[in-house]
């Protein structure tokens, strides 16, 4: 079953998914970034089901999603002025803020740390689900813990069918997967650490995304720093992540020329994902796959493309390295982590 760009969950389906989470079960839902695998953030047993389904290490934190009317102060021990400025500027949207966790919030969502990641998604289905879930809570404060709805370390889902393919057993057992069309952003949210401002650390960019460091700096009027050794652990920041099952290689210009000439290729067909102009001729074992030279459009299509290519029997996916510029930072981060999952020696093939 495929989702179409106009597909959207009904009010009844959203209500059912919200009730499942209130009952301590899982539900998958669309956001503007990627599809999430959600559970009640205040129910440790429910959050544990996320970790079990994904095969995710228990010390790897998950992000708590709240509705636009949600109270950040319920989840965080304090909300610094910097956080409020960014909330006003970018929420609802693809920005996760790491804040000090409120004492009454269980540390299951933060991998045992004293911090918590919070965001408010802009996708209308996600907002409707979060509102329905919060309405079912006695105090009206509902947060949904939701990492990407894929097995740990694999390519994130940007369509409902990706989730169904990833979790057939859970779907067969009744897990709702809400339709919401293809994700508009296509890569995970920007993660910014504000949990250590009182100690003179930060703001620190833990994961790049659609909202850039420059945009954040323009709002805060201060520099955004790179992660330091004491930075909290955050979703999607392991060296190897976002990887397809087919070996993936990141290629510079010299390696691109080798590939096109058929030098140092594995047995079988390979696909070359490239944003430049298609060459007049290439080795017949190389399939050319064009992608947009615009970083936002490239990001939107990236995960869906990797999933599609993963099922076509290629011996290797070779990706042209994008420019090392700020506007490509998030894309380079995701491709670099995907390639890091494979150690490929291209000199002795």
pTM comes to 0.93
65 is in an annotated binding site: yes
Residue 272: beta bridge partners?
A: 288, 318
More confident residue, 56 or 149: 149
- The annotation status of 303 as a binding-site residue, yes or no, is no
Convert the pLDDT of each residue in 92-131 to its tens digit: 999 999 999 999 999 999 999 999 999 999 999 999 999 9
* Calpha distance 39→277 (Å, rounded): 45
Phi, psi of 257 (to 5 degrees): -65, -40
Question: Is 51 a known ligand-binding residue?
Answer: no
Is the backbone peptide bond immediately before 92 cis, with ω within 30 degrees of 0?
yes
Tokens of 236: 């999607």
Q: 183 and 33 in contact (C-beta within 8 Å)?
A: yes
Q: Considering the domain 11-220 in this protein, what is its CATH number?
A: 3.90.870.10
Percent of the chain with pLDDT over 90: 85
C-beta neighbour count of 9 within 10 angstroms:
23
pLDDT digits (tens, 9 = 90+) for 132-169: 999 999 999 999 999 999 998 889 999 999 999 999 99
119 labelled ligand-binding: yes
The per-residue pLDDT for 79 is 97
Handedness of CA 10, 13, 14, 15 (dihedral sign): positive
For residue 57, what pLDDT is reported?
86
123 is in an annotated binding site: no
Tell me if 56 is assigned to a ligand binding site.
Answer: yes
> Mean pLDDT over all residues of the chain?
93
pLDDT digits (tens, 9 = 90+) for 303-325: 999 999 999 999 999 999 999 99
Give residue limits of the domains in the chain. 11-220, 248-341
Residue 242 assigned as binding residue? yes
Nearest to 347 by CA among 274, 255, 253, 245: 255
**Is residue 263 over pLDDT 50?**
yes
Residue 110, marked binder? no
- What distance in Å separates the CA atoms of residue 325 and residue 30, rounded to the nearest whole number? 29
Least confident stretch, 73-77, 94-98, 235-239: 235-239
């Amino acid at each position: 079953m495929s989702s179409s760009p106009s597909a959207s969950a009904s009010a009844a389906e959203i209500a059912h998914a919200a009730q499942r989470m209130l009952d301590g079960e899982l539900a998958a839902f669309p956001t503007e970034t990627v599809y999430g695998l959600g559970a009640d953030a205040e129910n440790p047993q429910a959050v544990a089901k996320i970790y079990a389904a994904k095969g995710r290490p228990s010390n790897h934190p998950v992000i708590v999603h709240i509705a636009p009317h949600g109270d950040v102060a319920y989840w965080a021990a304090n909300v610094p002025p910097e956080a409020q400025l960014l909330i006003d500027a970018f929420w609802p949207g693809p920005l996760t803020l790491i804040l000090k966790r409120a004492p009454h919030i269980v540390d299951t969502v933060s991998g045992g740390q004293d911090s918590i990641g919070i965001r408010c998604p802009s996708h209308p289905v996600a907002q409707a689900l979060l509102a329905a879930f919060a309405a079912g809570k006695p105090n009206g404060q509902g947060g949904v813990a939701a990492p990407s709805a894929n097995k740990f370390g694999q390519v994130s889902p940007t369509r409902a069918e990706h989730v169904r393919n990833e979790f057939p057993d859970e779907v067969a057992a009744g897990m709702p997967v809400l339709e919401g069309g293809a994700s508009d952003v296509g890569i995970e949210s920007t993660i910014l650490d504000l949990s250590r401002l009182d100690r003179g650390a930060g703001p620190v960019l833990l994961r790049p995304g659609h909202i850039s460091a420059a945009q954040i700096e323009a709002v805060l009027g201060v520099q955004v720093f790179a992660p330091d050794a004491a930075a909290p652990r955050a979703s999607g920041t392991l060296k190897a992540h976002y990887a397809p099952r087919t070996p993936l290689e990141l290629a510079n210009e010299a390696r691109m020329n080798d590939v096109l000439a058929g030098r140092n290729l594995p047995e079988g067909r390979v696909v070359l994902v490239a944003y430049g102009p298609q060459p007049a001729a290439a080795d017949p074992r190389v399939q050319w796959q064009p992608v947009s030279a615009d970083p936002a459009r490239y990001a939107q299509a990236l995960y869906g493309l990797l999933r599609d290519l993963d099922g076509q029997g290629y011996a290797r996916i070779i990706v042209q390295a994008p420019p090392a510029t700020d506007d490509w930072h998030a894309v380079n981060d995701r491709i670099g982590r995907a390639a890091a999952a494979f150690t490929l020696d291209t000199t002795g093939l």
